[in-house]
Amino acid sequence: MAWWGWPLPLIGAALLAAEIHMGYPGVRAWLPYVLLLPLAVALMLRLGKLRIAVTGGTDPELWVGTAHLPLRYIGAVDVVGSEGKRKALGPELDPAAFVVNRGWIPTLVRIEVVDPEDPTPYWVVSTRRPEQLAELLREGRPADVVDPDPAEVDIDPR
């Protein structure tokens, strides 16, 4: 999660804790701060987490969060820089495309889907390391984690 996404939930948690503090004396006065502020931090960490991985095995797959695509159905892979992101997500976007966009990440990868039975023409995925992801997809190499920012990636090797 970008730095500018943190203040509002933390301020909200602090204000809610202050509201409870004003109504209760003793332990109940400080307990909301102990519970709500860490809860807000945990929520922000969870919302900013996304796992992008290329798995190996007999049928290698690209995993983006809980969605997965076998590598045999991947066609062209294009890296879209920050200057082309607005156009790729705006006028050039197919409504049937699978999109995972995190607004605070300036680059993304456009992955063509060549499965004749899949109505999705392509995937658009934002990642901090688009060149690395594109290279892995073009070569079909497995990698446990492509976007290893601890605040955004769940390291779960397959």
CA distance 9 to 45: 12
Domains in the chain, number: 2
Q: Which residue has the tokens 């090797």?
A: 157
Q: Please write the tens of the pLDDT for every residue from 76-127.
A: 999 999 899 999 999 999 999 999 998 888 999 999 999 999 999 999 999 9
Strands (E), 20-90: 52-54, 61-64, 67-70, 74-80
Are 38 and 92 contained in the same domain? no
Give Cβ neighbours of residue 105 (< 8 Å, ≥ 6 apart): 126, 127, 128
Q: Which residue has the tokens 């492509």?
A: 146
Domain extent for 108: 69-139
Q: For residue 43, what pLDDT band results from cuts at 50, 70 and 90?
A: confident
Q: Would you say residue 128 lies in a domain?
A: yes
Q: Would you say residue 82 lies in a domain?
A: yes
Q: Calculate the alpha carbon distances from 153 to 14, 26, 37, 46, 51 in Å.
A: 27, 40, 22, 9, 5
pLDDT(42) > 70: yes
| Tokens representing residue 108 in the block | 């993304």
pLDDT(151) > 50: no
Q: Would you say residue 131 lies in a domain?
A: yes
What is residue 144's predicted lDDT score, i.e. its pLDDT? 52
Highest mean pLDDT among 30-34, 46-50, 74-78, 144-148: 74-78
CA distance 158 to 148: 15
Portion of the chain with pLDDT greater than 90, in percent = 49
Are 85 and 38 contained in the same domain? no
Centre a 10 Å sphere on the Cβ of residue 2 and count the other Cβ atoms it contains: 11
pLDDT(139) > 70: yes
What is residue 29's predicted lDDT score, i.e. its pLDDT? 84
What is residue 149's predicted lDDT score, i.e. its pLDDT? 46
Q: Model-level pTM?
A: 0.69
